[in-house]
Every structure is written in structure tokens, then in C-alpha cells.
Structure 1
Amino acid sequence: MIAALLLALQLVSAPWPDTLSPAARAGLAADAARPPAGPSMAARRDRAEQIQRDIGARQLTRYGVTMADRTIAGVPVRLFTPRGGARRSAILLNLHGGGFVVDSGSITENVPIAALTGHVVVAVRYRLAPEHPFPAALDDAAAVYRALRGEAPGRRIALYGTSAGAILAAELVARLRAEHVAPPVALGFFSGTGDLTAGGDSAALFLNAGAMRAVATLYAGAHDPADPALSPARGTLDGWPPTLCVSSTRDFLLSATADVCRRLDAAGTDARLIVHDGLPHAFWSYIEAPESDAAFATMARFLRRHLETIP
């Protein structure tokens, strides 16, 4: 199953458009030139962690952010504190990407956000599939959220995630609503899906056949991927927090991201979609370029606005 999943996740390639910045083109070329990981899941995780460390080290220096590994509610986390300290009235909670099987964003998704918002970011290093299928990752995210809420009941919390992290973030909002726990003040839904049973047109264009189904099966384990607990878009979306959806035109989850945004809008939620041209899935988490800077700036403006605006 793991070998089949890794094969299915190979992107369908096409030349990058000339409209991309030189830095973006160089970053994409550098990413493609990285030595491939070995066939084992351990090797892929080691490679993902090395990429996080390599790019993250440059981000930490550039933005003057401090990173520390901690544990909250028994769950390993990474804390990011902006230069000069952080505002104490609010906090950001991140759920990283990586297809539920590796950590491909717990540093690179968060350093710019901490710096640009001026708020502490807590990145949940949740348990990974296939060793820990659903609901392990969601349980970890919920435990950290509840702990942050419990230690400061009046604190404003904004939640965001990329790719698998966006899916988990939506699942966490659905769980909190079902359990009558105060939801986050805002949701950053960055290149995700709300329905693990449907990939949409962009998945058909940019992924090999069966890739979405393989990921869903690996993550869901014995659970039905159509269950709204795993696929929140198949349930009610009434009363969700304001949501920013971000994707790109070469993103295999563009269709799914847009579908979530449309469904949230239909349910009366303040939801908007930002699409970057000519770039691949979750490019901001591994490409150092002006386009990534622009994506992070958009995310940070949205998150900070909702953290600091008292209704």
C-alpha cells in the first residue's frame, strides 16, 4: 500500500510558465533536483525533515523568529516567537502538511506567519499515518487546542493548515462544533479538501489516477472517508469561522479548495478564495520566492485581522 501511494503521488509534469519570477523558477528547479528519498517511509520522513531544517534555517535567520520544541497536552509541538516577543492576547495554531504521512511544513509554513503577524505560532506535530490512522492526528490537534483554550479561556485562537493540515483544520472545526467547544476566530484553509471522496478536475489534471483515493485510504484506516468527521464538506457548514482559502493554478487540490470556499459561502460564512497563477501545490511551504512572500503576506493579513479585531 505505501509503495502504491508514493507512486500515485508523483505529479503529472508540464513546463512552468514564463510569468513566474526567476526565484520561483530556480526554487522549483532546485526542488526537482533534490536527491530522491529511499523507498521506505522512514527515508521519506528523514528527507522531509531535512528540507524543513534547510529552508527553515534560512527563514529563521531572515525573519528573526525563534523556534523551540515543546510538548502541550502530551503532544509534541513547535513554538515560533517573533523578534521582540509576541502579542499576548492571541495565538495561532498550525497543522502542517505532508499527506498525513510526513512532516513537510511544521517549520516552513510558520516562520513567516509568526514574523508577519507578530503572534506566537504553535505547530502541532501530530501522529502520522499509516501507523496512526484517523482519528489519531485529529485527537492530537484537538488536545492541543483544548489545552491552549484552557490555559487562557479568553484568548483568541486562529487556526490554519496546508494540504493535509488544511484537511485536519477543517476536521477540527467540525469536531469542536459537534462538541460545543468555542471555535477558532478564523480558519486558514490553504490548499486542502473538505471531501476525501472527491478530488475534482484539478486532481484529474495533475495527479496520477487513484492518488486521492490512496491517500484517503491510508489516512482513514478502518473509517469511512465519506463520514463528515473526515470529510466536513459532506456535513453542515453553518456557523463556521471566517475562512481564507488559498491555492494555485497548478495545484492538484485547486478544485477541492475552491469547492470548500463555495460551500462555506453558500452556508453564510465569510469565505474568500485567493489563487496564485502558474504554481504547484502548497508552493509557499518549499519554494523561496516573491510568490511565496506574497502568499504568506495574504495569509498573515487575514489571520492578524481576525486575531486583533474584537467583534
Structure 2
Amino acid sequence: MSVDPAIAPFLRQHQLSPEAAAYQARRAPSVPIQMPDLSDHAEVARWRGETNALWGEEDDPQVTHGHEVIGGVECLVAGPPPDASVPTVVYAHGGGYVLGSAAVAIPITARLARTAHLVSVDYRQPPEHAFPAALDDVLAVYRALAASGTLLALAGDSAGGTLALSAAIIAAAESVPPIAIVLFSPLLDHVAGPGRPSSGDDERSLIDCYTGDADPADPRLSPLRAQLRGLPRVLIQAAADEPLASQAREFQRRATSAGVDATLDLWEGMWHTWHYHALPEADQALAEAAEFIHTAVGQPGTT
């Protein structure tokens, strides 16, 4: 493999597990059912339900999720109760904003909830609810928990990574920053540039469905373009070969220049949000993400 010198310092070279190699050989398209007309709300709802069911909701019997309304928003909650040593992770699921759910994200959230209190946000989705509805819902949950004095981290995957990072930037500006931010294969820039899906493909259609008439350069949509100074420690895990890796690298560069402790971990041989699957690589990545959050507990400004 020829390694781009720009990513070489962040590249995790490892022996692909037999489980990951087998999954690679049978991988299906990321969106397994043909996309309908996104202006047809009934068809989108049907498509979302069928796609989410195919993606699966593989709950961990040892880490069950319960329903709870927080800040007026439906959430799934799991893990030990929060205290001075157990942080709460507010999680935003991926799915291009239109697809996915807190239930679909259970393969990730259950593993994080083994050591943290986990609140997974079932945010409103387009086309019924365009920007900034999803971000507003994540912020509503975060603010309600922050008001109770809970020790908070923010995390998310893919489009949920956008929501988590944008919420963290806004929370920091409101003087209630999280202790840590963890992003899995995040989408960080909706404007034309490295890693942006090409115009006309399914991924771009999903993103545009959420963006609506808003300016894609709005830092709430493209947190790569936001003021990053003052953020807490950030961990990004992404596949080295996925298109969004270039956005992750650019974020790491900008964040570091702004004085932010930003760790970039690019996994060789993996794929976009491999964290969802029952693989040793997913277990390892999520265990390291959980440890990253826990090491922030008790640091100055977090107690």
C-alpha cells in the first residue's frame, strides 16, 4: 500500500482480522434499498423503516436500552448511572440525517455503555424536519443534562459526527463544554472540497435533504469551518481509505493550530463506520474511544 505522507503519522497499520476479511468479502451497498423521491414523505418513511430494519438493531443483552424523554426529545438510555466518575455520553447516530435511528446505533452505543452512561438521541429527521432540527434536538438533550450538573461527553458517527461536533462547539461557546468529543468517520464539511460526496449521488441527496435552503458553509452544518479554539480533547477514528478521511485530517490540522488536543486515528483496511459490526476491530476501536472519554474525567475543568 502506498501511503500518503500527509496521513502517515495518523495511520494505524494492523493485521485484518478473519472476521473483518469475511465481512469485506460479502459487503452489501451501504444503502441497500433504492432511494425514493425525497420529497415524498410517505415513501421516505417507508424506505427509512425498511432500510433501518436491514441494518439491524443488535441489542446487547448485557447492556439493555430504555426509552426516556430528555429536553423534550426521545432518547435511548443505557449503561451505569452517572456520577463523579461515570460520564454521560450524548450520542448522535449516523445515516445521512435521513436514515438511521438510536435503535440502529445500538451496536455502537451498547459497547460504549459498558463503562459510561449513554444517551442516544432520536433526533428529528428530514425531509419532514430539515436543518437545524436535528442539531436543535441534540442541543436540547445536552442542555437539559448540563443543567443538572452531569459530566458530559459528545459522540457520533458519520452525519451524527457533524451533529456532535457542532453541538460541542455551541456548548463550548455557552460555557458548558463537554469533557471530550469522539467522532467515528465524521462528515465535517458540507461545502465542495476534499471528501465531499459528488453532486447527484445518493449521499449528496441525503445531505442536501437536510441542508435545505441553508448555506452549506454555515459552521453549524460544516463544523470544519467553525471557530475551534476552546474545544476539549477530540478523538476521530476513520478508515484510512474512506473519502471523509481527508476532512478528518484537515480538522486535526485546524484544531491543533487552534490549541485543541485533537487525536486522529486512521485505520488501514477498514471502511466507513466499521464500528457498527461485530468485529474485533470495532470492539477495539470502541474500547479505545471509551477510554479516551474516561481519561478526561477528573482533568482540570471537568469536576
Whole-Å separation in 2 of the counterparts to 1:289 and 1:195: 29
Verify the 8 A CA contact 1:261 1:272 in the aligned structure 2: yes
- Equivalences for residues 81-100 of structure 1 within 5 A: 81=79, 85-89=80-84, 90-100=87-97
Distance 1:34 1:233, change over 3 A: closer
What are the Cα deviations for residues 40-75 of structure 1, in whole angstroms up to 9, with x where unaligned?
433442234324544x23xx13xx112112211221
Shift of 1:95: 0.6
Q: Percent identity?
A: 34
- Which residue of structure 1 aligns with residue 167 of structure 2? 172
Shift of 1:38: 5.2
Establish whether residue 24 from structure 1 lines up as the match of residue 20 from structure 2: yes
- Which residue of structure 1 aligns with residue 10 of structure 2? none
Aligned letter for 1:65?
V
- Which residue of structure 2 aligns with residue 6 of structure 1? none
Verify the 8 A CA contact 2:198 2:204 in the aligned structure 1: no
Quote the RMSD (CA, aligned, Å).
2.4
- Which residue of structure 2 aligns with residue 302 of structure 1? 292
- Equivalences for residues 1-311 of structure 1 within 5 A: 19-32=15-28, 36-37=32-33, 39-40=35-36, 41-51=44-54, 53-54=56-57, 56-57=58-59, 60-61=60-61, 64-81=62-79, 85-89=80-84, 90-103=87-100, 105-115=104-114, 118-150=115-147, 152-153=148-149, 155-178=150-173, 180-200=174-194, 202=195, 210-211=200-201, 213-285=204-276, 287-311=277-301
- Which residue of structure 2 aligns with residue 3 of structure 1? none
Verify the 8 A CA contact 1:166 1:192 in the aligned structure 2: yes
Choose between structure 1 and 2: higher helix proportion.
1
Q: What SS does the aligned partner of 1:130 have?
A: coil
Q: How many residues align?
A: 276
Q: Structure 1: which 5+ runs fail to align?
A: 1-17
Aligned letter for 2:184?
F
Could you state the TM-score of these two structures normalised by the residue count of structure 2? 0.83
Verify the 8 A CA contact 1:66 1:80 in the aligned structure 2: yes
Farther-moved stretch of structure 1 (23-32 vs 168-177): 23-32
Whole-Å separation in 2 of the counterparts to 1:295 and 1:25: 17
- Which residue of structure 1 aligns with residue 4 of structure 2? none
Verify the 8 A CA contact 1:157 1:307 in the aligned structure 2: no
Whole-Å separation in 2 of the counterparts to 1:310 and 1:214: 43
Shift of 1:144: 0.5
What are the Cα deviations for residues 254-288 of structure 1, in whole angstroms up to 9, with x where unaligned?
11111111111110001110111111111112x21
Verify the 8 A CA contact 1:197 1:213 in the aligned structure 2: no
Distance 1:208 1:227, change over 3 A: closer
Whole-Å separation in 2 of the counterparts to 1:238 and 1:172: 14
Q: Structure 2: which 5+ runs fail to align?
A: 1-13, 37-43
Whole-Å separation in 2 of the counterparts to 1:35 and 1:238: 36
Aligned letter for 1:196?
H
Shift of 1:131: 1.7
Shift of 1:250: 2.9
Runs of 4+ aligned structure 1 residues displaced above 6 Å come to none
Verify the 8 A CA contact 1:93 1:160 in the aligned structure 2: yes
Distance 1:181 1:310, change over 3 A: closer
Shift of 1:101: 0.6
Shift of 1:308: 4.6
Whole-Å separation in 1 of the counterparts to 2:204 and 2:264: 25
Distance 1:210 1:265, change over 3 A: farther
